[in-house]
C-alpha cells in the first residue's frame, strides 16, 4: 500500500512539473499570430463552415491589412467590414474596419487558436494554417 501511495505522489509531482513547464500565454499568442504563410482559418463555434483570412502586409499605426475571402460574410455579416488587424500586445487581436473601429476582438485560447471575446456571441475561432 505504501508503494502505491509513493507511485501516486510521484505521478502527481511529474504532472505538476509538466503543467508548470508549458509555454506562457504571450509565447502562445506569438505562435498564433506568426502563421508561417500568413493564412488563417476562421470558424463559427458549433458550425461546420469556415473561411480563409490572409495577413496581407503592414499598414499604418501598427495595423496590418487583412484579406477575408467572400465566404466570411456567411459566418457573420460583421466580417464584411473588416479591413485591418492589430495585435494589441496583451494576447488580444482586433479585426478593424476601414476607420479603425474594432469589429471583432480575439484572445489567445490554447496556443494554436484565438477565440472571439467581443462581441460575446456568436463565438468564433481563428486558427493558424500550418
Q: Answer yes or no: pTM beyond 0.85.
A: no
* 95 CB-contact burial (10 Å; exposed 0-12 / middle 13-18 / buried 19+): buried
What value does the mean pLDDT take over residues 8-13?
42
DSSP-derived 3-state class of residue 106: strand
**pLDDT tens digits along 121-130:** 999 999 987 6
- Dihedral sign, Cα of residue 48, residue 38, residue 83, residue 62: positive
Residues whose CB is less than 8 angstroms from the CB of residue 71 and which lie 6 or more positions away in sequence, other chains included = 49, 51, 52
Closest by Cα among 87, 84, 78 to 98: 84
Q: Is CATH 3.40.50.10190 the classification given to domain 25-128?
A: no
Instruction: Please state the separation of Cα 42 from the chain's center in Å.
Output: 9
**pLDDT tens digits along 43-53:** 999 998 999 99
Which pLDDT does position 35 carry in this prediction? 60
Which pLDDT does position 82 carry in this prediction? 96
- Percent of the chain residues topping a pLDDT of 90: 49
Amino acid at each position: 500500500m505504501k508503494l502505491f501511495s509513493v507511485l501516486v505522489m510521484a505521478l502527481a509531482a511529474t504532472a505538476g512539473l509538466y503543467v508548470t513547464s508549458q509555454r506562457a500565454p504571450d509565447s502562445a499568442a506569438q505562435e498564433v499570430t506568426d502563421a508561417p504563410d500568413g493564412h488563417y482559418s476562421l470558424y463559427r463555434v458549433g458550425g461546420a463552415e469556415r473561411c480563409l483570412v490572409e495577413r496581407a502586409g503592414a499598414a499604418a499605426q501598427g495595423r496590418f491589412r487583412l484579406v477575408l475571402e467572400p465566404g466570411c460574410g456567411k459566418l457573420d455579416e460583421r466580417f464584411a467590414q473588416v479591413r485591418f488587424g492589430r495585435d494589441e500586445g496583451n494576447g488580444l487581436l482586433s479585426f478593424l474596419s476601414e476607420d479603425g473601429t474594432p469589429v471583432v476582438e480575439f484572445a489567445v485560447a490554447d496556443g494554436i487558436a484565438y477565440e472571439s471575446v467581443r462581441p460575446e456571441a456568436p463565438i468564433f475561432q481563428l486558427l493558424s494554417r500550418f
